[in-house]
Amino acid sequence: MSGPKGISYRIAAEQRAAEAAQARRVALEGRARAFTARCVAAGHPELGVSLGPARAGSAETNAACDELERRLLAAEAALTERSAADRNRELFAGMQSALDKLAQREQAEAAARTERVADPPPAPARHDHADEVQRVLATLAERSTELEAAGHALLFAAPERARLLLRDLSARVTEANRRTEGVRQLQSEIAALHGRAQLLDDPGPVLELLARAESTIGDPAHAESLLDAARELHDRRRDHETPERDRRFVAAAVTASLQELGYIVADVELETSESLVLLPPGNATHAVRAVVADGEIDLRTVRLVAGTDRAEDRGAEQALCADLPAFTSGLQARGVAATVTRQVPAGVVSPRLLTRKVAGETRSHRRRTTRERSAD
């Protein structure tokens, strides 16, 4: 039998694992959305992937994330293969058109030489670079009309110059692919952080930085600096918000654990958001007030009416004491590890008087009454 109690709490390892799994899930969902947008832009929306419905528990969520990562890798390989096939078809048509123009030009040059000289010398040997040009252009990660035009122009160059232009084209394609891969990586990371930011209480400033990074993706260095700033801001806000988020999580667990024992949330108004008041089953004169703050749950019996005697107060405290083991077990089941660290003997502290809300009573009057009667 006891009076007010202090219960220290910490978020259980299982709950932290569930939070980490959820953060991984929303980051992967962001990556999947970014990849699906790539598929749509490439004309292959059927290759898009999604995570599916949320799973209960960290193990199930992580298993679903592992499966999505495998599907993403397979889908990325399939998109690369199909995009390469698409580019090859387009390149073949473009190269054929360029070769037709080259043949027409060579025929015109040969006819002009025939008209000028009765026995014209043979046309200078021209090395056919068409296959090499197509092979180089086929390695492009994304289509580039500029590089394709350079490849077509190479076909019309003199042999020595064509060899130089081919080496230059190969280097330019390599650089273009490096840039494309960097942009895709940036887009994926932006999308992943966008997903994680949704878990913040106030994601707005982080999302604003990510929107700016996305809008400047054509300047990868600038976009990456904005992404770095968004990461740093996200981590600061997450660390700042975690204690209050933990407190809300514990408060919800306190409420649910008491409700599981038959308690009902009381219709009272208190000064602080840290306070909870619940009515025990079968008792209309007393309630239980829980204050969740600073790593502790302060749990105590309070009066709802002024006319209770010491025996009634003691009976209410006995009932709360009897429920304590089941209450702490309920907290544990909800991801809160709880340990009773402080108990005041019954009768040492008289239960304070709280007032219920009354229809038509003003908020300021309720606040004043509660402050006067519930002050410890």
Residues 32 and 151 in one domain: yes
Question: Is residue 237 in some structural domain?
Answer: no
DSSP character for 301?
E
Element (H, E) at 263: none
Q: What is the dihedral of CA 138, 142, 146, 147, to 10 degrees?
A: -30
Q: What is the dihedral of CA 115, 119, 123, 125, to 10 degrees?
A: 180
| Domain limits for position 48 | 15-117+126-199
Q: The tokens of 193 are what?
A: 């952080």
Residues 195 and 254 in one domain: no
Residues 22 and 136 in one domain: yes
Report the amino acid identity of residue 348: V
Residues 147 and 294 in one domain: no
Burial (CB count <10 Å: 0-12, 13-18, 19+), residue 151: buried
- Asked if 80 contacts 87 with a C-beta cutoff of 8 angstroms, the reply is no
- Choose the final residue of a domain: 138, 170, 199: 199
Q: How far is CA 34 from CA 75, 140, 197, 336, in A?
A: 13, 20, 16, 36
Q: Could you give phi then psi for residue 134, rounded to 5 degrees?
A: -65, -40
Give the whole-angstrom CA distance, residue 190 versus residue 325: 47
Q: What is the pLDDT of residue 56?
A: 73
* Of residues 219, 223, 193, the one with CA closest to residue 206: 193
The whole-chain average pLDDT of the chain stands at 83
Q: The tokens of 188 are what?
A: 């994926």
Residues 96 and 183 in one domain: yes
Per-residue pLDDT of the chain (376 residues; tens, 9 = 90+): 456 789 999 999 999 999 999 999 999 999 999 999 999 999 999 999 987 777 778 899 999 999 999 999 999 999 998 988 888 777 766 566 655 565 566 566 556 656 555 555 554 445 567 788 888 888 888 888 899 888 878 877 788 888 899 999 999 999 999 999 999 999 999 999 999 999 999 999 999 999 999 999 989 999 999 999 999 999 999 999 999 999 999 999 999 999 999 999 987 766 566 789 999 998 888 899 999 998 899 999 988 888 778 888 888 888 898 899 999 999 999 999 999 988 876 666 778 887 655 444 444 444 444 443 344 4
Question: Is residue 242 in some structural domain?
Answer: no
Residues 41 and 183 in one domain: yes
Q: What is the pLDDT of residue 140?
A: 87
Q: What is the pLDDT of residue 93?
A: 66
Question: Is residue 219 in some structural domain?
Answer: no
Give the whole-angstrom CA distance, residue 86 versus residue 99: 20
Residues 66 and 169 in one domain: yes
Residues 55 and 181 in one domain: yes
Question: Is residue 216 in some structural domain?
Answer: no
DSSP character for 353?
B
Question: Is residue 9 in some structural domain?
Answer: no
Q: Where are the alpha helices (DSSP H) in the chain?
A: 13-41, 58-116, 130-137, 145-154, 159-197, 204-215, 220-260, 310-333, 363-374
Q: What is the pLDDT of residue 365?
A: 41
Classify strands 2-11 and 264-265 as parallel, antiparallel or unpaired: unpaired
Q: How far is CA 230 from CA 172, 215, 245, in A?
A: 32, 14, 21
Classify residue 307 as left (phi > 0), alpha (psi -120 to 50) or beta.
Answer: alpha
Residues 191 and 308 in one domain: no
Report the amino acid identity of residue 258: L
Residues 86 and 178 in one domain: yes
- Number of alpha carbons in the 13 Å side-chain half-sphere of residue 227: 22
Residues 43 and 164 in one domain: yes
Q: What is the pLDDT of residue 115?
A: 59
Question: Is residue 207 in some structural domain?
Answer: no
Q: Could you tell me the pTM of the whole model? A: 0.74
Question: Is residue 342 in some structural domain?
Answer: yes
- Choose the final residue of a domain: 180, 199, 218: 199
Q: Number of folded domains in the chain?
A: 2
- Asked if 268 contacts 277 with a C-beta cutoff of 8 angstroms, the reply is yes
Give the whole-angstrom CA distance, residue 335 versus residue 189: 31
Question: Is residue 43 in some structural domain?
Answer: yes
Q: The tokens of 65 are what?
A: 């994330």
